[in-house]
Structure formats: C-alpha cells, structure tokens
Chains A and B, each alone.
Chain A
Amino acid sequence: MLKLRLAPQPAQRGALAVFLAEGAPVPPAWAAAAEAAAFSGKAGTSFEPGTAARRTLIVGLGTPDEAAARRAGALATARLSRSKTLILDARGLPEPVAVALLGGAAARAWRCDGFRTRPDPDASRLARIELAVDRPDDIAARVAAEQAQLAGADLARRLVALPANRLTPARFADHLRDLEADGLEVEVLKPQALRAERLNLLAAVGGSAAHGPRLVVLRWRGAQAGPPLAFIGKGLTFDTGGVSIKPAHKMWDMRADMAGAAACAGAMLALARRRSPVHAVAVLPLAENAVGAAAYRPGDVLRSHAGTTVEVIDTDAEGRLVLADALAWTIARFRPRAIVDLATLTGSIVIALGHAMAGLYANDPTLAAALAASGAAVGERVWPMPISPAHREDLNSDIADLRQCATGPLQPDACHAAAFLREFVDQTPWAHLDIAGVEQIETADDEHAAGPTGFGVRLLDRLVAMRFEAGEEAAAWPRLASTT
C-alpha cells in the first residue's frame, strides 16, 4: 500500500517533482533546460533538467486549479514511478491545489498485481509519496478527506478489476460486508428475499446464472436526520448478453459491467472514512447475465417491482431492468431526497461521448448542475444529454406498459435507456450517469493508469460535500470536504 506523507521541506532522497503554472518564472538553475525544452508551464508538459543532483521533473500546471493539479500530479507519477519515493514540491501553491496534486499522483500509482505470480520487471516501484507544503498541519484535514476518497476509489477499482470467476454476486456481497468495519450498515438480499420483495426484473436477469443475484444495501448514517440520499449502481458481475448474446470480441471487458455498483460502494466508503454528516444509502443490484436454460428471453413480459409491465426486446439491455427494480424499491423503502444512479449502461453513450465524459441524464436541473460542477472539479467529467418525448414514445409496447428498448440500426439507446429509467423514479429528483466508456482505460497515459478508473467515486463524494452536507441553501458552490 502506497504511503502518503506531509513535510515542510522536500526530503533529501527520492525523485522530485516541481510544479509551475503557465507563465510562472522558471528558477534560474533550470532556466536553460526549460528554454531548450520549450517549456512554458502548459498543462500536460514537463521536462527533466539533466543538471539536477537527483531525478527532478518540472511539470506544467497550466491554469493552477484543482482539476489541472490532479492531472499534473498524475503526470509526475507516470514519469517517476521507477523511484521508490516521489516528492511533490507544492510549496507556495494554494492548499486545494497542493492536495489535488497528491490525490492525482496517488490515483495514477494504482495498479492491480493480485493475480501475478511473478514480479513484473516493468512495474512501478513507487511506495511512498511525499507532499512538501509550507504548513503541513494546516492541510492535514484536507489530506485526510482526500485519502478517504482515494480509499473509496481504490475499493471500486479493485472490485472492477476482479474477473467474473472471482467476483460472483455472492462474493461481491461478501466484499461489501467487509465495509461494516468502516461503520457502514450492510444488508444483503438473497434470491428468496428478492422474490419476496418482488424484485422480478432483477430475479429474471440473474435467474439463469449458476451464481444467483443479490441486492445489497449499504447505509451510512451521518449526523443528519431525515431521508437519505440514495446511490444506485448497476452490478452485473458478468454480462454475456444472455440469449441476445454478445460478439466474442471484447466480451472480456464485461467483467467491468459492475463498475456502477463498485463506484457507489467506493463513494460510501469515502463518506464513512471522512465521517461525512450525510445520511446516504447505496442500493446495489448484483447479478450475472448468463446464457442458460432458465434464461429470460426476448419477447418475455416481466412485471417489475413497481408493477409496471415490461416487454423484453433484447436480453443484453439488462442493466436498465435491474436498475428499474432497484429505483422503485429504493423509493418505496427509503423515500430518498434524491437519487443518483451509475451504470455502464449502453454502447450508444460511447458512440456519443467517447471516453472523455460520461452521459448525464436527469429530471432535476439543480441536481444535474451540481453533478456537472462536481465532475468538473474532480476531473470526472459528465455531459448533459436529452430525454425527449420521442425517446419515450419509442418505448411504447403493443402488449405491455413499456418496451425495454427500441429496435433497428442507429438507435439513440442511451437516451432510450434513460427514458426507460425515468418511468421508475416518479417525482424523486433523479440523475442517471451512463458511465460506459469511462469505467476503464485501455492504454495507460499521463493521466490514467491502465484498467479501472474508479469513475464516479470522487464525483459522488464531491457532490455530497458541496450539495448535501451543509443543507441545500448553503451549498451552491463546490467546496472541499472540511474537517468533521
């Protein structure tokens, strides 16, 4: 486990990263090298002056805000991970920027080595990151909150990295049970209970796998009274597509089809670790969409928990089914003040927005704006997308209340999925993040390690901090989690 330390001065040993905003003067010792490297402090640029006494990297900060600092910290790790100790020299920088440097550097150092039986010669050697700041004591609380977020993201990424033979719904639930140690209440509903609760869509999707479905509820009771904020995460431990089976190419990526649930769990852990005053629940439908004799079929009509009947068109559009039941069940059980769901839901959103942003759908402009602001601040960007009347009309069924998706080429399936989910949220303020495309990174770059990103953990934690902790009225602007 990576160690994080604060110090008033850079230590004598270890690789050093120094950060310069765009246009800031380069210290005289490095001025010649900076000129040779045409370094201007632009974000994403860096150089190593050869004359330094130890390995030293000068990193461009661009405009020195929090998001830029996360990127710059990540870049330092990407370049200097062959050293055991990385020292980030953040003296003279604003506190939130310094903390974001540390957070970005630590997040970029994440790796999954659990399944390797021999050492990877190219592996990072990084064991320790030190942040040199003028007054370490002043930022200890901010750093603690950042560490809570890192712990949450780490949990989410570890879960996403686990392959489906190691992470069945039951074992996913076991991992979530472990969160009791952090003060979360954990409740697990097994197949019999799912049937008793009439979570029929979840039961149908998970019905053909050898490993049955689960519904896991995580609850954090902060000091706040009143109804909770609810997170709902799609937790398909593997998605073959079912009878509407997927092509073989890239099917391996479907082990990550539970990234929404993992992100919600990670966010809950972050809230617990930093003792957030919020009252929050995460409701996580976990299932494996397998091919089997008991599988549900295209054309089947299912009765959802809400009572709405759904005509199945494509068994590979299963995410919206388990979410629909989870949404309705959560509203009935908790009457939440707001709901945010996260799901690797559609290929359509990847065609729409690529890998740089998640799709944001909402029935509540205030919640949507808060999510967009949170995402921008923490570098997990979301883009608002429409649910138009035509999208809803496309889901009209000849024989049931609702069709699950539309058919034919060139369908706006991400919008259809959102229109489908909206049918199950009633008047509750609700937002849906389609995180397909941002949950994993195929090739490592300066900003991201390859593999699971933990997308959503920081976003949700920040959303809570800026919008749901101090009461709605006082929370119009993003702020860092403070000491509690």
Chain B
Amino acid sequence: MLDVTFAKPAAPKSGALALLVAEGEAPAGLWAEVDAATGGAIGRALAVAEFKGEKGKTCSILAPGAGLSRVVAVGLGKPQDLTPQIAEEAGGAIAAALPREVSVAVAAGALDAAHAAEVAAGAVLRAYRFDRYRTKEKPEDKPKLAKLTVLTDDVAKARAAFAPLKAVAEGVFRTRDLVTEPANVLTPAEMAERCKALTELGVEVEVFGPKDLQKLGMGAFLGVAQGSANEPRMVVMQWRGGPGEPARGRGRARGARSGDKPVAFIGKGVTFDTGGISIKPAAGMEDMKWDMAGAGTVVGLMAALAGRKARVNAVGIVGLVENMPSGMAQRPGDVVTSASGQTIEVLNTDAEGRLVLADLIWYCQKTFDPKFMVDLATLTGAIIIALGHDHAGLFCNDDDLAQKLLGAGTATGEKLWRMPLDDAYDKLLKSDIADMKNIGGRPGGSITAAQFIKRFVDARPWAHLDIAGTAWSTKDTACVPKGATAFGVRMLDRLVAEHYES
C-alpha cells in the first residue's frame, strides 16, 4: 500500500508535487511559493493548457525548476461543490498521473483536514496493483509511486481522519487480492485460510468443512460442491465491536442473548464457476474466477470494520465452493434438500449461487438472529442486461433498509438501483416435483433469482445485491484501477458507520 504521511506545508526540494486547484482559485500558499521558485513556470504552463481547476481535469508539468521532477495540477471543481467523493477522485487522479515518481508531495493547504485525508485515501485506492504473478516486468514499466506526503495545516487532525479510511482501503485491497487470484490458487480451502488471517485484526473466524456442512443439513450448498475435487468451506467471521455479548456461533444456546444483535453480511464464494454439467460457453469463462466476489467483499468488509474498530457487532458468512462438472457432479433434474428443509429441483446447475446463499442465509438467521442480512453475489448475467456496469441490483424486502443502502451507495460511488420483488415473479419458481426449482426462465432472470433467495429469509429485513455487473471493471475509474473493484466494501462500511454504530 502507498505509504501516506501528513506534514506541515513546506515546498519540497525534489520529487513531484501535486497542486489541488479549485475553480477560480488564485495562487496562494505553497502554490504561489513554488510558482515563484520556478520563475512563474507553473503559472505559464497552466495558462497555456487552459487549466482552470475544473473537476476531473489535470495538467502535468515536467521539470519546472526548483529541483522538482514534475508538478501536476488537479482540478477540484467549484469550491462550494467539493464533496468527499470529489476529494477522493482528485487523490485518484494524482496517483494515476504520477506512476513514475517515487515520492509525491500534495499541496492540500487550502483543504480542511477531512478532505486532505480523503485525497490521500483516493490516491491509495487508485495506486493498488496486483503484482504477484509478474516475474519479468521491465523496471521502467513498473509503477514506482511509493510515498505520498500530504501537506496540510492540521497534521494531527488529518492523520486521525485518515486512519479509518486507511483501514477501509486495507479491506478493499484484501477483497481485490482475493477476487483477482486465479482459481487454481484460490480454492475454497485456500480462501478459508486467508479468512483466518482476519484473526490478527480481532475477528473471530470459524471454518466449517464438508462434514460440518452435512451436519447442518446444507444439502443445497453441498450439491454445488460435489462435482469438484476441492472441498467446500463455510467461514463465519465475527467482529464484536458493539456493546455486550452478541450472538455466538455453534455450540451456544440459541435463546436469550445479551448485547446488540449483529448485522450480517453473506457472500457467494464460488471460487470457480464452470456452470457444472450445465456448462458455460468457453468464451469469457475465465471471468468466472471472480464468481467469489460477493464472498471476497464480505471478507474485505469484515477487515475494514475490524481495522477501524467499528462499534458494531457484525457477522460475515461466506460459502466457498467450486462448481465443476464431473462424474460426481450434481445433474440437472436433481432434487436437493436445503438446510431450511425446503426441497429444490436443480434444473440448471449453473444457477448455483442461489443454492449456496439459500443455506447460508438460513444458517445465519437461525444462529445469529441478526438485525438485518445483506447478501452479495455475482449472481446473474441478467442484471448486466438490465442495468449495465454502473449500478448493482438491489432487491430488498424492507423500504427502510433499502433507503439506507441506496444512500450509502450514492455517498461512496458504489451505486445501487432498486429492482422489484413480486409474487408474479415468485410463482415462476414453481416446480412439478419439489418445493421450488432453481431457475425461473430468462425473462426477469435477476428477479426470479432474488425471489428464490427470499424464500429462505424469515420475516426480517434483508437485501440482496446482485453485483455481477460491478465486481470487475474493464476500465480504470478515478479510484479503482481496472480489474477487481471490491464493489460493496466501502458502501457497506458506510452503511454501518452511518446507521448501525453505537
């Protein structure tokens, strides 16, 4: 992770300098000082480039003098319109503009401490890179940016504001790492091992193997797993930052509990999805390594909450499984019995995510009696045909929870769009021989998937996020380099921070 420090404004003697410029702002402070030291080179360059501080604009000036290798001006837009998101995006623009510099100073003297911290967080998020498998990259091709010094008047306050943002960024990186790892490395067992690393942050981690899942009656989950040589895992992560003793896992009495009921997050973790016997076409199948992005997001979120010591009791549950075709694999037409007792006719083995979630959700509410449950899953291609890549689909049985989620999405730029739930879709799941079938046809495909999951939710508030279109990006955006986005970590962290911390 990019090393961030905060310091009092002082003109750097070498390296690169980023100037944050609001629209209509006149040179002052460090900006004026450096401009003078370079004999007005900066002012001339900005004038030639017609740079006026518009949001999203940058202007890069090479070797302007005064020992500096480069100065980049980053537009903030109108000062009265400045939001945390814009500040972060400016930070992202700095990281994107200066990959060749080792050390960058950011003149943030005109910003308050919170915005200065957000600039730093944006740069950190954008500077992420997954490098584990490059062995021969030429040194000149490697990004060098390693150190960011944010120059601000209120160093202590900015540092304090940055600490939780850094914890969340660490959660985001954990998610991006997991989602990016290929399926031959990240098997269910390996991903469970990586979940265990969260114990360092104070998260309690329990791992359940196939025998445990059998005892819990998770026939739907196990049906998906049975075709693969890599055994499934369920991982339960608990962060107890809230008051009292929250719900406990297995072996504890289910009745009376003290303390705050937890909030619960549940993730689909199909480490690779071939589709099983209902096998997918070859083109694009490589993307199915990130069919565990829902689970990856839950892991990163738990790390974020623990990392910033959120005052909440939270449970994260992920179902890790590989969906493979084989002689042992589940067949179209098989009937499985879920942990809830409801039977499912599996008509398409490629609609496997909902089978995993069904058992996880049932287990979650029986074991932890959470305030609400949010599940995340790269569930359907239909949600991409519905919404594209800008919004994830939000399906929710509770208007209040839906509003909070929509708000958190807008605030973090991880946007949601509400989609309908309705009996008209639920009835498409009717099976001739079991309680339900696992597909409802192509029309309304994301909705019938959500209706399927809803059948395993008791009356409590629940939301399902279909992140198939947002978990992976084919192009860079301000704070997210292309690849795994970790969509949901920041939004759900915000949801907790705004509404559920004591």
By a beta-carbon cutoff of 8 Å, the part of chain A in contact with chain B is 348, 350-357, 383, 385-386, 388-391, 394, 409-415, 437
Would you list which residues of chain B between 148 and 192 have a CB under 8 Å from chain A? none
Size class of the B contact interface (CB-based, 8 Å): 20 to 34
B384 within 8 Å of A (CB atoms): yes
Q: Are B384 and A410 touching (Cβ within 8 A)? A: yes
Can you show 13 pairs from A to B with CB atoms below 8 A apart?
Answer: A348-B386, A351-B382, A353-B443, A355-B444, A356-B444, A357-B422, A385-B386, A385-B417, A388-B415, A390-B388, A390-B389, A394-B388, A409-B284
Interface membership of B424, Cβ < 8 A: yes
Determine how close the nearest CB of chain B comes to the CB of A337; give it in whole angstroms.
29
Complex: A355 Cα to B384 Cα, angstroms:
18
* A414-B444 in contact (CB<8A): no
Contacts of B381 in A (CB 8 A): 410
Residues of B contacting A410 in the complex (Cβ-Cβ under 8 angstroms) = 381, 384-385
**Across the interface, do A355 and B443 meet the contact criterion of CB distance under 8 Å?**
yes
A391 and B386 CA atoms in complex are apart in Å by: 12
* Contact A353 B447, CB 8 Å, known A383-B420, A410-B384: yes
Whether B390 pairs with A352 at a CB distance below 8 angstroms is no
What separation, in Å, do the CA atoms of A391 and B417 have in the docked complex?
14
Q: Is the CB of B442 within 8 A of A351?
A: yes
- A388 x B444 contact (CB < 8 A): no
Does B425 lie at the interface of the complex (its beta carbon under 8 Å from any beta carbon of A)? yes
Q: A354-B443, A415-B387 are in contact. List 14 more A-B contacts (CB 8 A).
A: A348-B386, A352-B419, A352-B444, A352-B446, A353-B386, A354-B425, A354-B441, A354-B447, A354-B448, A355-B443, A356-B444, A388-B391, A391-B390, A410-B381
Q: B122 in the interface, Cβ–Cβ < 8 Å?
A: no
| Segment 381-424 of B: residues with Cβ below 8 Å from A | 381-382, 384-391, 415, 417, 419-420, 422, 424
A409 (CB) vs chain B CBs: closest residue: B284
Could you tell me the distance in whole angstroms from the C-beta of B216 to the nearest C-beta in chain A?
A: 34
- In the bound assembly, the distance between CA atoms of A307 and B298 in angstroms comes to 50
Residue with the highest number of chain A CB atoms closer than 10 Å, among B385, B387, B446: B385
Residue B75 CB within 8 A of the other chain:
no
| A183 and B448 alpha carbons, distance in the complex (Å) | 46
Q: Contact check, A352 vs B386: say whether CB atoms are below 8 A apart.
A: yes
Please give, as numbers and ranges, the residues of chain A lying within 8 Å of B384 by CB-CB distance.
410, 412
B-side contacts of A391, CB under 8 Å: 388, 390
- The 8 A-B pairs with the shortest beta carbon distances in the complex, nearest first, are A354-B444, A352-B386, A412-B388, A356-B424, A354-B443, A388-B390, A410-B384, A351-B385
A348 touches B390 (CB 8 A): no
Most buried by B among A350, A353, A389, A409: A353
Question: Which residues of A sit under 8 angstroms from B417, Cβ to Cβ?
Answer: 385-386
Find out whether the CB atom of A348 lies under 8 angstroms from the CB atom of B385. Answer: yes
B residues in contact with A355, CB < 8 Å = 424, 443-444
- When C-beta atoms are compared, the residue in chain B nearest to A43 turns out to be B423
Q: In the complex the two chains form, is A351's CB within 8 Å of B388's CB?
A: no
B219 CB within 8 Å of chain A: no
Q: Please give the distance in Å from B157's CB to the nearest CB on chain A.
A: 34
A110 to chain B, nearest CB (A): 20
CA distance A414 to B384 in the complex (A): 11
Distance (Å) between the CB of A417 and the closest chain B CB? 12
The reply to whether A386 and B391 form a contact with Cβ atoms under 8 Å apart is yes
User: Which residue of chain B has the shortest Cβ distance to A359 in the bound complex?
Assistant: B386
Complex CA distance for A352 and B448, rounded to whole angstroms:
10
Q: Taking the complex as formed, is B445 at the interface, i.e. its CB lies under 8 A from any CB of chain A?
A: yes
Contact with A along B362-385 (1 / 0, CB 8 A): 000000000000000000011011
Residue of B nearest to A390 (CB): B390
Residue of chain A at shortest CB distance from B448: A354
List CB contacts (< 8 Å) of B272-287 with chain A. Answer: 284
Are B390 and A351 in contact (CB-based, < 8 A)? no
B445 partner, pick from A351, A357, A414, beta carbons under 8 A: A351
Q: Which parts of B414-469 form the interface with A (CB within 8 Å)?
A: 415, 417, 419-420, 422, 424-425, 428, 441-448
Complex Cα distance, B420 from A146, in Å, reads 29
Cα(A145)–Cα(B21), bound, Å? 62
Q: Is the CB of B390 within 8 A of A437?
A: no
> Is B444 touching A353 in the complex (CB atoms < 8 A)?
yes
Distance in angstroms between the alpha carbons of A393 and B417 in the assembled complex? 19
- A410 to B389 alpha-carbon distance, docked (Å): 10
Q: Is the CB of B388 within 8 A of A415?
A: yes
Give the complex CA separation of A414 and B381 in angstroms.
15
Interchain CB contact under 8 A, B386 and A412: yes
Q: Which of A351, A356, A388, A409 contacts B386 (CB 8 A)?
A: A351
Please tell me if the beta carbons of B389 and A351 are within 8 angstroms of each other in the complex: no
When chains A and B are docked, how far (Å) is the Cα of A403 from the Cα of B390?
A: 19
Contacts of A411 in B (CB 8 A): 385, 388
